[in-house]
Amino acid sequence: MHSVRCWVSGRVQGVYYRASTAEQAARLGLKGFARNLADGRVEVLVCGPEEAVQALIKWLWVGPSAARVIEVRTEHAGLAPEAFPSEFTTD
């Protein structure tokens, strides 16, 4: 299992970004969460098979149609699958 933390910048709040991310993550069978940050970014923490995680990261660059992504920063999270909720969530 692979775990990654992502920070997505651009017009990503108020455009259905978190919910769309959760839908995409569910399609890929991933665990984790997406949440808004006070600085206007969205943080995504994701865990699952490396190919599926990489597919979600690729999708984060696009997002829903109203989003305008300008940057996706990633780092290895190093968390065990047990540290994640049973399904992808938003808050």
Active-site residue set: 18, 36
Angle between helices 17-28 and 50-60 (to 10 degrees): 160
pLDDT surpassing 90 at residue 91 = no
Q: Does the pLDDT value for residue 63 go beyond 80?
A: yes
Alpha helices by DSSP H, listed for the chain, are 17-28, 50-60
Is residue 5 predicted with pLDDT exceeding 80? yes
The reported pTM is 0.92
pLDDT of the residue at 76: 93
Domains, the chain, in order of start with CATH, read 2-74 (3.30.70.100)
